[in-house]
Structure 1
C-alpha cells in the first residue's frame, strides 16, 4: 500500500494543472473580466451563471451554492473520488511522477502509461462490440434486447454491444490497433490456452462497466446460444483496472442524480438498471456478479454525502427465496450507512425489467415508491421463523427481534418500531421496551465493564467552541472598502508596492470575518507562499468556516477592462484602505484629546497634535491635494 503523497508533490500537481482546462471539460465558461471566467454551476441547478474561476490563482467559487476550492477539490466533487485518487489522476494527466512518505511505493509514471493502455484497449473493445451488434450475426443480440423492451436507440444510449462467436474476432481487431499480446493478457478480455490467447467473450450481449470517471474498465456478458457451456452471465475477471467489489454498473450514468437527490437504488442486473433509468429512476445501479459489500457502501456513502442530514438507500430484490436472502444480507451491512435504508421486494417475483416490459414504466416507479424500511423487512423476516400462536414462540421471537430494534440509530424511530413489534407479537409495550432496552445496554457495555472505573483525564481541558463569523454587510461603505481591499490583495498581490504592503500589514479591519482573512493573508505572506499556492495557503491559514469566503474573494470580478484600469483600480482601493486607517487613527487621537485633562502647552498634547498633522498631510498626499 502506498504511503501518503508528499506535500511538495501535491503542490506541484496543483500548480502545474490548468484549472480552466479541467473545468471546461465539465462546464462551458465565458469571460467574466480580466483573468476571470464564469459558467453554470455543476453542483446545483441554476439558470444564470454564478460559478466563477480564476485560473491564475487556481481557485473556483460558486456564489449560488457556496462550493469552492482548488482544482483537486473540483475533481473530487465532480467525480466523487478520494483526495489521493484525485492527485494521482491529475499527476497522470500532466505526466508527473509522485513520491510517497514512509517509503510507500505508489504508482510510478510507467504504471500510469500501462493503465492508460488498458483503458484504451477497453475503449476500442467497447466500440468494436457496439459495431458488431448492428451486423447480421448481431441479430441474436438485438432480438434478446427487443424481447426485454429495448430497441436500437436504447442499446446505443447504454452502449450495449455484441461479441461475435469466433475465437479471435476481438483479438485480431486489437492486434491491428497496435496492442501486443502481453498487454492484452492484462485486460481480462482474453483467456489463454496451449495455442496462446483467445477471446473470453464469444456469442454474448455485452455491457461496458465503467468507473466513476466514465472510463470502461470491464464488461458484463450474457449468453445467447444453447451450445454455450459457460455461465449465464460472465464478467471480466479481477484485473488491475477491474475490482468487482469496487464497481457498480450504471454508476457513471447515475452519480450526478445520486448526489443531487441523495438517493441510490441498488438492483440486481444490467437490464434492471436500464429499465429503471428509462422509467425515470435515474439513481439505479447494480453490482457486477457479487453481493453489495463494504467497498460498494464506501462509494455509495461518498455519493450520498452520508453525513446524517438525509439520504436513502433502496435495495430491490426478487420475491423468491434467493431475493429474501439477499435482502437480509443487505441488512447485515445496513449499520454502515447513516442514511435511511429501504427494501423493495416484488411479491410476484418480477424484477424491474419484467415490470417495465409487462406493466410499463409506471409499475417500476410504483415499486420504488412502495419501499419498506429495511428494519421492518428484517424484523418481519425473523418473525416468520417462529410460531407466534404459542407463548414460547412469541418469547423466542422477541429475543431474536429485540436486538434488531435496538440497532436502529435514530432514537426517534426506535420507540415506534418497538410499538410495532409489540403489535406483531401480540405482547404489551412494556415487555418489548424492556427487552429492547436490555439489548441496547448489552450492545454498549464493554466486555470488561466490571473492571473499568472512570478516571478523569490528567490536565483535561474544556473544548473551545469554534468561532463564528457573521457575513459583513457590504452596503456599509466601510465594510465594502474592506472587502474590496481583500479582493485586490488576494487576486493581485504583485501590484502592491512595499509601502502599500506595510500599510496593509498594519491595517485594522472592523468586520471579524475580514480581520480573520487579513490575518490569514499576513500569515501566508510571512510563510513565503508562492504565486501559484497563494490562495490555497491563505485558505489553510483562516478558520475553516471562512475558506469558502476566501475562494469567493479570489474569484469576484474586479471592475477593470485592461491593465491600465486594473492598476488604477488596485491603487485606488489600497489607498482608500490606507485613508480609512488614517481616519480611524485620527478619531482615536481626537478622542484622547477630548478625554484627557492635559496641559495645552504640555509635551503629550503637542505630540498628539503633531501626529494629527502628519496624518492629515498623508491623507492629502493620497488624495493628490
Structure 2
C-alpha cells in the first residue's frame, strides 16, 4: 500500500549504522565494517556485522541478515509496512499509505505510538494546570527544565477526560482499548490513570510505549504502570534508556536505580548512564539489553578491576535496596551468567536512602560518592548471606560458613574463588584452611556449586524452635496471605528472620510488594467478577514472590507454598495465623533484648551510649510484654 518510490526514499535517507546503533553498541571492525553483539541470539563474542556502505547487516553466529527494514522488523517484532512507517518518521518522510478507509485498518504499532504521543501532550498540559502536582515535583528538587526534559505530566482525577480527548483525535475504540491507557467496567472504558504524576516510558529509540504513574496524596497503589500491551513488555524495557544509551556505550557503564525520580536525579547530577526497571525485577532480558550496549564480552579480562576503579569489561552498578534487589541480582548472576556477575557492582547508601533522596538532601556530588562506594557483586552477595548469622558465637560462624560456602564454591574462576575463600575466612574470623576445605566440599566434582536445589527438611523434623516458628510464619504468609495481612506481617523488619533461606524468602516477599500486593490483586479480581478472587490472587502472589528469587530460593518457596498446614479448620485460621506471627515477633524482640543486654555489660555506665542502650532495652521489654498479653 506504500508506493515503491516512498520506500526507496526512506532507504536512501536512513543510515543503517545509526538505526542498528540504537540497539547495539557498534565498534569499527576494519574498512567499511562495524560489529557488535547480536541482538537476536545470546552471545558473548561479537559476530554481528554491519556494512554501512551497502546498507546490510549479518550475524555470523546465527546466520540472520538483511537490510535496514528487515532489522527493524526483527528487533521491533513488527511487519514490513510498520517498519517502513517507523523509519519514515525517523527521517521525516511523509508516506502515501492512507488510501484505505480508517475503519478497515488493523491496529498498527504506529497508531498505538501516535495515541501515546497524544497522551504525553495531554498529560503535560494538565500538569501546567495543576499547582499541587507541580509543587510535588518542585518540592523534590526538580525545576521546569528537568520536568520538560523528562516530559513529566499529570493525569486529571477524572473518569474519562483522556478517553474523550483521544476519541476527538480520531482513534477508534479498538485502538484505544489496545493502548493500555484505559480500563473496562460495566459501563465501558474509562481512564486507567487518574490523579497521578505521569512519566512517559519510551523504547530505546525514543517512542513512547507506556507510562509510569505515581499517586499524589493518599491512595493505592502508590505506583501504577501500563499493563502488558503490544507496545509495552516491562521485562524488556528500561526507563531512561533512550536518553542514556549513547553515554552507556561511551562509558561502558550503566547505573541501575529503582524509580523514575531516581533516574531524573542521577541525570541532573551528571550521571547520564542511569536507568530503571519499570515495576519489575532486573531480569534476563534486561541483561541482554545492557550487554549489547556496553559491548560486553566473555574475554578473560571481563570484569577485571584496574587501579583507577574502572572495569575492563564495563560495569553494571545497582543502587537498589541492599537486602532485596541486590541479593536477587546476585543469585541470578551466580546461577545464570558469571561473566555478567564479574562486571556487576552494588552501591547502597549507608542510611538506605534512594538516590533521589540522597541528591535532594546532599546535592550532585553525593550521587557520585554513592556510586564510588560500589563493591563487587560477588562480595556483596556473600556478605549478605552472613547478615542473618550471629558471628559473635561459634554456632553463628558455623551457620554463616554453611550458608556462604556454596556461593564461594560456585565461582567458576579458580583464582577469584581462591580470593573470596580467603575473604570469607576473614569475614567469619575462622581459620583459612578450615574455610577452604569446607568450600571445596560444598562444590560438585569440578568445584562448582550444586545445581540441584536442596529440599528443605519437613517442618515436623525441625528441632530448633526458632527455625520452626520462622518456617510456620512463611507457610502462613504464602498460603494464607489474607490472614497474614491482618496479622501485620508487612510490618516485619528484614532482620526478623535469622535462618538464611528463610530470610531470602522474606526478602522475595517484600520485593513482590508484600501481602498488600496480594490484597490489591484480590480486590482487582473481585471487581472484574472473577470466580474465587482470593484463591486466584493467592496463586498470583506466589508466582510474584517466586519471580523475585533465585533458583534455589524459588525451589524452597514452592516447597513451603504446598506444605500441609497444622490448622485446617477455616474458623481457626485467623487465630492460628495471628498466633504464629506474634510468636515470631516475640522471638525477634527477645533476640534484640539479649543482644542489648550483652552490649550493656560491655559498655561503661559513664559512656553516652549506655543511656541510649538502656532506654532501648526498656522499650523492648515493654514491647515484649505487649506481645505476650496480645
TM-score, normalised to structure 2, is 0.55
Shift of 1:317: 2.2
Would the alpha carbon gap of residues 356 and 447 (structure 1) be closer, same or farther in structure 2, given more than 3 Å must change? closer
For the 8 Å contact 1:386–1:393, the answer to whether it is kept is yes
- Equivalent in 168, 172, 182 of residue 160 of structure 2: 168
Shift of 1:222: 0.8
Shift of 1:316: 0.8
For the 8 Å contact 2:345–2:376, the answer to whether it is kept is yes
1:237 has 2:227 as partner? yes
Bigger Rg over Cα: 1
Partner Cα separation in structure 2 for residue 163 and residue 441 of structure 1: 56
Partner Cα separation in structure 1 for residue 180 and residue 209 of structure 2: 10
In the alignment, which residue of structure 2 is the partner of 1:261?
251
Shift of 1:112: 8.0
In the alignment, which residue of structure 1 is the partner of 2:273?
283
Would the alpha carbon gap of residues 77 and 403 (structure 1) be closer, same or farther in structure 2, given more than 3 Å must change? farther
For the 8 Å contact 1:327–1:343, the answer to whether it is kept is yes
Would the alpha carbon gap of residues 189 and 72 (structure 1) be closer, same or farther in structure 2, given more than 3 Å must change? farther
- Equivalent in 424, 429, 433 of residue 432 of structure 2: 429
In the alignment, which residue of structure 1 is the partner of 2:377?
374
In the alignment, which residue of structure 2 is the partner of 1:121?
115
1:357 has 2:341 as partner? no
Would the alpha carbon gap of residues 222 and 298 (structure 1) be closer, same or farther in structure 2, given more than 3 Å must change? same
> What whole-Å deviation, never above 9, does each CA across 1:553-573 have from its counterpart, x for those lacking one?
xxxxxxxxxxxxxxxxxxxxx
Shift of 1:440: 3.6
Would the alpha carbon gap of residues 175 and 411 (structure 1) be closer, same or farther in structure 2, given more than 3 Å must change? same
Shift of 1:78: 11
In the alignment, which residue of structure 2 is the partner of 1:580?
none
For the 8 Å contact 1:72–1:86, the answer to whether it is kept is no
Would the alpha carbon gap of residues 168 and 88 (structure 1) be closer, same or farther in structure 2, given more than 3 Å must change? closer
Instruction: Write the mapping of 1:38-117 to structure 2, written as runs, cut at 5 A.
Output: 68-69=51-52, 71=55, 73=57, 84-85=74-75, 88=78, 92-94=82-84, 114-117=108-111
Shift of 1:123: 0.8
In the alignment, which residue of structure 2 is the partner of 1:332?
331
In the alignment, which residue of structure 2 is the partner of 1:313?
316
- Equivalent in 283, 290, 293 of residue 283 of structure 2: 293
> What whole-Å deviation, never above 9, does each CA across 1:389-446 have from its counterpart, x for those lacking one?
3333323322221221122344332222111111111222222222223334346689
1:302 has 2:292 as partner? yes
> What whole-Å deviation, never above 9, does each CA across 1:281-319 have from its counterpart, x for those lacking one?
11111111111122222222222222134022111124x
Partner Cα separation in structure 1 for residue 106 and residue 398 of structure 2: 60
Would the alpha carbon gap of residues 263 and 409 (structure 1) be closer, same or farther in structure 2, given more than 3 Å must change? farther
| Unmatched 5+ stretches in structure 2 | 20-24, 35-48, 59-64, 87-99, 303-312, 452-630
For the 8 Å contact 2:421–2:439, the answer to whether it is kept is yes
> What whole-Å deviation, never above 9, does each CA across 1:210-268 have from its counterpart, x for those lacking one?
11121111101111133xx4311111111121112221111111122222222121111
> What whole-Å deviation, never above 9, does each CA across 1:165-191 have from its counterpart, x for those lacking one?
221211111111101122111111011
In the alignment, which residue of structure 2 is the partner of 1:215?
207
Instruction: Write the mapping of 1:190-229 to structure 2, written as runs, cut at 5 A.
Output: 190-226=182-218, 229=219
For the 8 Å contact 1:210–1:217, the answer to whether it is kept is yes
In the alignment, which residue of structure 2 is the partner of 1:133?
127
Partner Cα separation in structure 2 for residue 77 and residue 151 of structure 1: 43
Partner Cα separation in structure 2 for residue 349 and residue 260 of structure 1: 30
Partner Cα separation in structure 2 for residue 130 and residue 407 of structure 1: 50
> What whole-Å deviation, never above 9, does each CA across 1:64-93 have from its counterpart, x for those lacking one?
xx97455453999999x8882268576533
Would the alpha carbon gap of residues 260 and 439 (structure 1) be closer, same or farther in structure 2, given more than 3 Å must change? farther
Partner Cα separation in structure 1 for residue 106 and residue 331 of structure 2: 37
In the alignment, which residue of structure 2 is the partner of 1:189?
181
Secondary structure of the residue aligned to 1:413 is helix
Partner Cα separation in structure 1 for residue 27 and residue 372 of structure 2: 25
Secondary structure of the residue aligned to 2:319 is strand
Would the alpha carbon gap of residues 88 and 224 (structure 1) be closer, same or farther in structure 2, given more than 3 Å must change? closer
Shift of 1:384: 2.1
For the 8 Å contact 1:17–1:90, the answer to whether it is kept is no
Partner Cα separation in structure 2 for residue 377 and residue 77 of structure 1: 44
Secondary structure of the residue aligned to 1:212 is coil
Secondary structure of the residue aligned to 1:324 is coil
Partner Cα separation in structure 2 for residue 342 and residue 331 of structure 1: 9
Partner Cα separation in structure 2 for residue 242 and residue 256 of structure 1: 22
Partner Cα separation in structure 1 for residue 328 and residue 105 of structure 2: 37
Partner Cα separation in structure 2 for residue 86 and residue 72 of structure 1: 17
Instruction: Write the mapping of 1:507-518 to structure 2, written as runs, cut at 5 A.
Output: none
Partner Cα separation in structure 2 for residue 445 and residue 388 of structure 1: 26
In the alignment, which residue of structure 1 is the partner of 2:236?
246
For the 8 Å contact 2:316–2:344, the answer to whether it is kept is yes
Partner Cα separation in structure 1 for residue 412 and residue 261 of structure 2: 34
Partner Cα separation in structure 2 for residue 429 and residue 217 of structure 1: 53
Secondary structure of the residue aligned to 1:219 is strand
- Structure number with greater CO (CA < 8 Å, separation at least 6) is 1
For the 8 Å contact 1:190–1:197, the answer to whether it is kept is yes
For the 8 Å contact 1:314–1:342, the answer to whether it is kept is yes
Shift of 1:346: 0.8
Shift of 1:43: 5.4
Deviates more, 1:389-398 or 1:202-211: 389-398
Partner Cα separation in structure 2 for residue 230 and residue 208 of structure 1: 20
Partner Cα separation in structure 1 for residue 273 and residue 9 of structure 2: 32
- Equivalent in 366, 389, 394 of residue 391 of structure 1: 394
For the 8 Å contact 1:141–1:162, the answer to whether it is kept is yes
Partner Cα separation in structure 2 for residue 225 and residue 93 of structure 1: 42
Partner Cα separation in structure 2 for residue 281 and residue 52 of structure 1: 31
> What whole-Å deviation, never above 9, does each CA across 1:194-216 have from its counterpart, x for those lacking one?
22211111111100001112111
For the 8 Å contact 2:72–2:78, the answer to whether it is kept is no
